[in-house]
Structure formats: C-alpha cells, structure tokens
Structure 1
C-alpha cells in the first residue's frame, strides 16, 4: 500500500521552472535579433496549442483525482485558493460534457485532428 512518502511514478511533462528557463533563453534570442516576427508568430501558435494541451491535462487530472477519492478540500490548494469553489466550479463545468476522466480522454481523442 502506498503512503505519503512513496513518490508518484508519473510527473508532469513540463514544469514551471522548465518554461521559465526556456523563456529566458527565448528572450535573449529576441534581444539579439535572432528571431524574426514570422518565427515569433509561429512560436505563439505552438505555445497556444501547448497551453490548451496543458489545460486539458489538468482537467483530466482533476477528474481522475476525484474518481480516485480525493476531496475538494484536498484539491483546492492546487488551485491556489484555500476554498473549494474553484475546483468545484471546474468540475461542474466538466461534468456538463463528460462524467469521467476516461470519457474526457475519449472526447480529447475525438477532437484531435487526424485521429
């Protein structure tokens, strides 16, 4: 049986520190004139798509955590608030489309172009 000291085998594919490091390098490249506007526009599109993917992954994890028995009080601090309204509102919105994490994943698969 797992306890609180057992590390999770699954981690987010990217961290806030990774993004900040990348952003500092990108800003330096822009300051040096190494990235023209067309490249920055392409990059903007890539980042917006990645942002959507991260938001979808977050929604899936929220649904999965609830299904695994996590309470809204346990989840609330991840939302940066000490109260349960934020995750509860997000769950309510998600439940208008899907009832489970697996249904959400299937919805994402159907929305994926070329799948």
Structure 2
C-alpha cells in the first residue's frame, strides 16, 4: 500500500492525476475501508464465539486493556448477537 501511495503521490506532483481521479480513488478507498471494518466486526464476533477472551483480543485494538473490544462488541450486539447474524446483515446491505 505504501508503495502505491508513493507512486500515486509522485504522479500527482507530476500533474498526471486529476482531482476527479483522486476523488474516484477516495471513493474506492472509503468503500474498501467500510468493507474491512465490516469484516473486522465479523472476525471479532467469531473470535468471541470460539472462546477468545477480551484480554486476548485487546492487543489487536492497539490497547493494553479490554475496553476497546468490549465497547465494540456491545455496539455490535445491538445489531447482531453472533457472527452468523452479522453475516446476514452484510448480505442484506449488499443486496440493496
């Protein structure tokens, strides 16, 4: 990703990439980011279902404590109780 960013930055500096092109790339990156967040949420739910503790998961969130994954799980549980339900929600979103 860093290599792509460096190449793109160089192309922008050289005037080879327009603002419209950058806006299109921005849209693609935002959609990819949202898709990765959805996949991350699924993996979090699935890991808990498989017995992973919040202490095991916490380092992935970049924190040494369990508040970050616990808060994310709490928010997710308002929508889905398990990874299968989350997958169903994602399928519904994709079909709209």
TM range (shorter): over 0.9
Q: 2: distance between equivalents of 1:104 and 1:91?
A: 12
Residue 84 (structure 2) pairs with residue 89 (structure 1): no
Question: Unmatched 5+ residue regions in structure 1?
Answer: 1-18
Identify unmatched segments of 5+ residues in structure 2.
none
How far apart are 1:46 and its partner, in Å?
0.6
Q: Which has the higher contact order (CA 8 A, sep 6+)?
A: 2
Runs of 4+ in 1 over 4 A off after TM superposition: none
Q: State TM-score, norm by structure 2.
A: 0.95
Question: TM-score by structure 1 length?
Answer: 0.80
